[in-house]
Amino acid sequence: MSPIDKESALQYHRQGNQPGKLCINPTKPLDTQLDLGLAYTPGVAYPVLEIERDPELAYEYTAKGNLVAVVTNGTAILGLGNRGALASKPVMEGKAVLFKKFADIDSIDIEIDSTDPETVIAVTAAIGDSFGGINLEDIRSPECFYIENRLKEMLNVPVFHDDQHGTAIILGAALTNALEVTGKRIGDIKVVFSGAGAAALASANHMVRMGVPREHIWVCDIKGLVYHGRTEEMFPEKACFAQGDQPGTLAQALVDADVFIGLSAANLVTPEMLKTMNVAPVIFAMANPDPEIRYELAKQARPDGVIGTGRSDYPNQVNNLLGFPFIFRGALDVRASAINEEMKVAASEALAALAREPVPQDVLKAYGLRGLEFGIDYVVPKPLDRRVCLWEAPAVAQAAMLSGVARKPLEIDQYREVLENRLLK
């Protein structure tokens, strides 16, 4: 893969007749006087009156059912921090085009120029019913927890903070398979986190739902171990993972650990620290663009381990692209009122199951590989595997129906055929 330099990235975004990465195209003909009369006045009055009578008919007469808002205030842009709402627009446009490319979901990016959580909530809630779902993105911690929870209470469409749950879902799949490869039981492992932001805490909660005992999870941040009685940089979502009543370091926490999860910053972990972990450790160092420890160093220190990063140029990439397009696809297609915990677990399980299947030739070609099979270097599907949607979206839809948040039931086998015709042909 060629390196991405500044000028090539800027040229990519400004090239062509229209800068940026998005445009809007009509889905109905607009070629005749009759077309115009149906699309606008006077014909548009009829669906207006029908939707006033029954708001659910917005799914029948408008684009709502296939439309997601990507909402941010730009306070936590990728690894760049708080750069402001407008500066986040290239990232949000990028998120929107990924929705379209991978799941045929239309998306509009909305950048809210405010660091006040109440303003973000008010603006999003006021426009929320225009969309089939809300994808929150790049909002800093701890405000992101409050914003998401309030919007989930206020809106009757799925609200999903991808920085939290997207990472957690993919990580859950990778961990499930890594434990199978290493022969460890999820209820027995010790897990250590480097990082206590949105992605780390959501991942820790997701692991608890998947079977890791809460008391087996140790969280470290820039101040060290999160422990009972600590007052610096604490908030409730972090405090619920406190361990012990004394300060500690990441190096101390890693002794006899089975799993390391890095969602923090580059080069915080040394080979010597990894050597103190248990036999056959699972090491997911996911800081981007540079992980907590370089892949080569981790592999050299622990050749018996399952090692992954957030990068596409190494094995076992834990990438949110494996989640959000297909989670929303399943949620939208059953008109779910929420993306709940059952749907998140179902997404993790579907991804884990897909990674155990034979890898088709088109995936190998896309990554320049001669072969790839389930094992130490392949515990999670590749993002360019076109089968992901056929496994994940139906699993999410099924979980929505079983958990009671779906408003439009589907027959899952037929739904999978519909997806295949829509996305793969």
Confidence of residue 321 (pLDDT cuts 50, 70, 90): very high
**Secondary structure element (H or E) that encloses residue 175, with its range:** helix 162-182
Please indicate whether residue 365 is annotated as part of the active site: no
Domain boundary among 130, 157, 184: 157
328 with 414, same domain?
yes
Please indicate, yes or no, whether residues 152 and 114 belong to a single structural domain of this protein: yes
- Rounded to the nearest 10 degrees, the angle between the axes of helix 412-423 and helix 388-403 is 140
CA distance 173 to 260: 15
**In which band, very low, low, confident or very high, does the pLDDT at 2 lie, cut at 50, 70 and 90?**
low
Show the beta-strand stretches assigned E in 14-153. 67-72, 106-111, 133-136
Residue 225 domain-assigned (yes or no): yes
Residue 271 has pLDDT above 80, yes or no: yes
Catalytic site includes residue 95? yes
Report the distance separating Cα 196 and Cα 141, nearest Å.
Answer: 9
Contact 75, 135 (CB under 8 A): no
End position of a domain, from candidates 262, 288, 309? 309
Is residue 180, in this structure, part of any structural domain at all? yes
Catalytic residue among 21, 95, 152, 184: 95
1 pLDDT tier (thresholds 50, 70, 90): low
Q: Give yes or no: residues 207 and 90 share one domain.
A: no
Q: How confident is the model at residue 381 (pLDDT cuts 50, 70, 90)?
A: very high
Task: Confirm whether 338 is domain-assigned.
Answer: yes
| Res 4: pLDDT | 82
Q: What order of strands is seen across the sheet that includes strand 67-72?
A: 106-111, 67-72, 133-136, 159-161
Residues 71 and 180 in one domain: no
Which residues touch 202 (CB under 8 Å, ≥6 apart)? 161, 164, 165, 167, 168
Same domain, 331 and 401: yes
Q: Which listed residue (12, 40, 46, 61) is catalytic?
A: 40
- φ/ψ of residue 417, rounded to 5: -65, -40
Q: Both 305 and 214 in a single domain?
A: yes
User: What pLDDT digit, counting tens, does each position of 202-227 carry?
Assistant: 999 999 999 999 999 999 999 999 99
Mean pLDDT, rounded, for 243-256: 97
Packing angle of the helix pair 89-103, 324-333 (nearest 10 deg) = 60
User: What H or E segment, with its residue span, contains residue 308?
Assistant: strand 306-309
> Are 16 and 153 part of one and the same domain?
yes
pLDDT attached to residue 289: 83
Does any domain span residue 315?
no
Hey, CA dihedral for 383, 389, 395, 397, is it positive or negative? positive
CATH number at residue 412: 3.40.50.720
pLDDT of residue 138: 96
CATH number at residue 78: 3.40.50.10380
The model's pLDDT over 6-41, given as tens digits with 9 standing for 90+, comes to 999 999 999 988 999 999 999 999 999 999 999 999
Domain annotation covers residue 126: yes
Determine the average pLDDT of the residues in 380-393. 96
**One domain, residues 356 and 295:** no
77: CB partners within 8 A, 6+ apart: 83, 87, 88, 91, 138
Residues 174 and 279 in one domain: yes
Q: Which residue segment(s) compose the domain that 295 sits in?
A: 165-309
Task: Report pLDDT for 78.
Answer: 84
- Confidence band for 170, pLDDT divided at 50, 70 and 90: very high
- Domain end (from 119, 140, 157): 157
**Do 297 and 380 fall within a single domain?**
no
Q: CB within 8 A of 240, min separation 6: which ones?
A: 214
Residue 79 has pLDDT above 90, yes or no: no
pLDDT of residue 288: 85
My answer on whether 217 and 331 are in the same domain is no
Residue 258 and residue 171 in one domain? yes
Q: How many domains does the chain have?
A: 3
